[in-house]
A = this chain, B = another copy of it.
């Protein structure tokens, strides 16, 4: 019996001790007519060897194309040490650290994580993770509504430049609580949320304002101005940031001088493999003053009976297992292991390593953008500076182009036409530090051919001018 250690002898002894004839007797309280019939469609057991052959075949089947996709998940180098340590049994197979004395490993690590996140974000406190960036935003907004004592409205301003899935997820999670998400348009030239877009709401009762940095198009927002607007209008400011970008960009805790109230985002760039979208982790930081409104686990430092330092789950009275229907959130299991990886990842890279990685991504994407822009009909869609993603306009339909590139084992970007029909034929591209010159050249070359084939435009590998 796979994973079951019982010998016949032991089973006999145990049944005898219980005083029943067979294991079936232990299920006697279940109404007989409810008992299962055979599970016909479940295949018979496989050995580990058979299962790994099956899985290896499937993993191989999907190839390992050159990936120029971003859009909220980024292909970064993860130091080998990260997962070799993270998958150590003591981290991998422990539960949530309810028994603090038997969980100092996880607890100290989480405290270190909280310390790193607050340092990176310039905020006062951090929780120990939420599911992912999108659901973290939803939780952040619920938190903002709770925390904003000055606001009676349940209206939240959300830039259209924010990741479309984040907007959907926030909407899906908030809609049953009567919270209204109001969309702010983006500047059609710059790709950012112009402060002018907020004018209509000047002086209105707004519970919260969302500020992405960078936004979905990779474009940098005027975070200082937006934060200032929020403060002036007594709206809670909620930043949604890429944590890697924060190593080189002004952190939310400093925006507009005094910083935002809450910041959240997707932790994936900090040590989580792409892995089809998960497990990743959402992070959430805030000002000290509103920590009791924060959802999720929080670790605190304390002393033991001998006066020695130790760590423990704290502020549990906010949580569902204590406060039940009045909890700050329903979250229980979070993304602990991903946070373990992120902590080790950040420790290994340090600020300098994150900065170098961020700079390399920026440089690679800039290089790619420059080369692509040499192709006829291909150009950056927005004028404002970006972090490591850019929307590129194409002379032909994006989906055809991407399909053709995929046939060459290049994932050439995201077709955003579904979410932004107003932006026409365009792809969102990203070249992280892992993309090599060879891959970038090959992308440009293949794209040139694809455009030629699809659009009849002659192949143009030379710069357009000069």
Contact = CB atoms under 8 A, between A and B. Distances in A.
Interface stretch (A48-56, A98-106, A226-234, A400-408): A48-56
Contacts of A79: 48
A433 B79 CA distance: 35
A56 B53 CA distance: 21
Interface string A41-82: 000000111001100000000000000000000000101100
Contacts of A89: 85
Contacts of A84: 87
A53 B436 contact: yes
A434 B49 contact: yes
Contacts of A88: 88
Interface in A394-441: 433-434, 436
Contacts of A433: 49
Contacts of A52: 77, 80
Contacts of A49: 77, 433-434
Nearest to A90: B88
A331 to B, nearest CB: 30
Nearest to A56: B64
A444 to B, nearest CB: 20
Nearest to A81: B48
Contacts of A77: 47-49, 52
A45 B89 CA distance: 33
A318 to B, nearest CB: 37
A133 B79 CA distance: 36
Nearest to A77: B49
Contacts of A47: 77
A118 to B, nearest CB: 24
Of A53, A87, A88, A436, the most chain B CB neighbours within 10 A belong to: A88
A89 B88 CA distance: 10
Sorted from nearest, which 6 A-B pairs have the closest CB atoms?
A49-B77, A48-B79, A88-B88, A49-B434, A48-B80, A84-B87
Interface of A: 47-49, 52-53, 77, 79-80, 84-85, 87-89, 433-434, 436
11 contacts: A48-B77, A48-B79, A48-B80, A49-B77, A49-B433, A49-B434, A52-B77, A53-B434, A84-B87, A85-B89, A88-B88
